[in-house]
Amino acid sequence: MADVESQAESKLVPAGQVSTWLTENGFDHESLNPDVNGVEIIKVASDFLLPTATALYAYGFNYLQFQGGIDLGPGQDLVSVYHLIKVSSDADKPAEVRIKVFLPRENPVVPSVYWIWRTADWQERESYDMFGIIYEGHPNLKRILMPEDWVGWPLRKDYISPDFYELQDAY
């Protein structure tokens, strides 16, 4: 019995500074293992992304450095990832945190953070175009890299490339 408890405890991820702050303020989330650089990673449900993102903005994370998509594999979830930084004039090493929102492959819908960080504009459009993740509330969610009539999401791991794509009116 003690072995089972010690194994369960060894799998627990210690809460980082941001996770602790979110917990103290009543925001539902889950701490994931930090990345290789020690950046704290937080898992948030789609329904709680906007309240959590707004709170993190108020907490000082005023810069969305990166937003992107990840495909965990055929039949598995898609992930919308947000890398936030506290930018200030007196910080030697700004605080960083990464948010991951796991979405079902069949209906990958998540609220847009465009209204919090305007830098999400083109980044969310790219994630939509390549992975098919729908960002609700985005002011101009349309294809950005692929032609408007392209079928499918090219960066999904189960995507089957067409044999050809006919360029219409190319000359």
pLDDT tens track, the chain, 171 positions: 555 555 555 567 777 899 999 999 999 999 999 999 999 999 999 999 999 999 999 999 999 999 999 999 999 999 999 999 999 877 788 999 999 999 999 999 999 999 999 999 999 999 999 999 999 999 999 999 998 888 899 999 999 887 766 655 554
CB 72 within 8 A of CB 81: no
Buried/exposed code over 20-34 (b: 16+ C-beta within 10 A; e: otherwise)? eebeeeebebebbee
**What pLDDT does 121 receive?**
96
Question: Which residues face 39 on adjacent strands?
Answer: none
Q: Does domain 17-138 have CATH number 3.30.460.80?
A: yes
How much is the pTM? 0.86
